[in-house]
């Protein structure tokens, strides 16, 4: 069952849409669940479907289409590396390999301490700043180099947060 907090946020979102178009709030509803729990289970999808009066399969289709939704626990800091063409041409495979070696995990895995999870994603629409990754879907870290990755991992490991745009420039 959706928490009271998530239900309140969905109700606020629903004010933006006609009463017979509740399914329009599905992306926001999934985000609210993920913000609260860290990821979205199939039970959560079913709860969202019931709340919005739409088929569970339709919620599943949305949740699995967009890479920002996490369908399994992915650690305190989820690093999502773009591996689409432009980023590949700028070295995203090497970037990914470097992060894997630093963290000792593979794709879709979480470090033993639960601090980091690693995922890949399709184009994030920021190809000019390739290679790049996001942290928890909130911070874009662009033009990644081993040195920059080291700084990011060190800061996050120490409990710090990345400021907006902090690792977004050369």
Whichever of 38 and 91 has its CB closer to ligand FES, that residue is: 91
Q: Binding ligand FES by CB under 6 A: which of 27, 58, 126, 153? A: 126
Residues 77-116 interacting with ligand FES (rule: CB under 6 A): 82, 84-87
Query: Residue 60: is it exposed, middle or buried by C-beta count within 10 angstroms (0-12/13-18/19+)?
Result: middle
Between 85 and 107, CB nearer to ligand FES: 85
The SS3 call for residue 33 is helix
Q: How far is the CB of 142 from ligand FES (least distance, A)?
A: 9
CA proximity to 124, closest of 102, 106, 140: 140
Whether residue 37 contacts residue 44, with contact meaning beta carbons closer than 8 Å, is answered with yes
Task: Closer to ligand FES by CB, 71 or 127: give it.
Answer: 127
Q: Helix or strand or coil: residue 140? A: strand
Give the residues across from 82 on adjacent strands: 121
Nearer to ligand FES, 90 or 103 (CB): 90
Beta strands 133-135 and 139-141 are antiparallel
Interacting residue with ligand FES among 2, 45, 103, 130 (CB under 6 A) = 130
| Residue 48 found at the interface with ligand FES (CB under 6 A) | no
Identify the CA nearest to 77 among candidates 160, 5, 169.
Answer: 160
Q: Which of 63, 105, 124, 156 binds ligand FES (CB under 6 A)?
A: 124
Q: Among 123, 146, 160, 163, indicate the residue that binds ligand FES (CB under 6 A).
A: 123
* Rg, C-alpha atoms of the chain: 17
- Interface residue list for ligand FES (CB under 6 A): 82, 84-87, 123-124, 126-127, 130, 132
């Amino acid at each position: 069952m959706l928490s009271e907090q998530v239900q309140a946020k969905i109700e606020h979102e629903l004010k933006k849409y006609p009463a017979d178009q509740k399914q329009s709030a599905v992306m926001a509803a999934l985000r609210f669940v993920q913000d609260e729990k860290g990821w979205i289970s199939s039970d959560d999808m079913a709860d969202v479907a019931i709340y919005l009066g739409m088929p569970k399969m339709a919620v599943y289709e949305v949740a699995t289409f967009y890479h920002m939704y996490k369908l399994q626990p992915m650690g305190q800091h989820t690093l999502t590396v773009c591996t689409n063409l432009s980023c590949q041409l700028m070295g995203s495979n090497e970037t990914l390999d470097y992060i894997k070696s630093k963290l000792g995990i593979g794709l879709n895995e979480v470090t033993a301490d639960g601090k980091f999870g690693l995922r890949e994603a399709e184009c994030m629409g920021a190809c000019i700043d390739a290679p790049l990754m996001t942290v928890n879907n909130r911070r874009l870290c662009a033009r990644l180099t081993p040195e920059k990755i080291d700084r990011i991992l060190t800061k996050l490991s120490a409990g710090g947060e990345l400021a907006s745009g902090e690792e977004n420039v050369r």
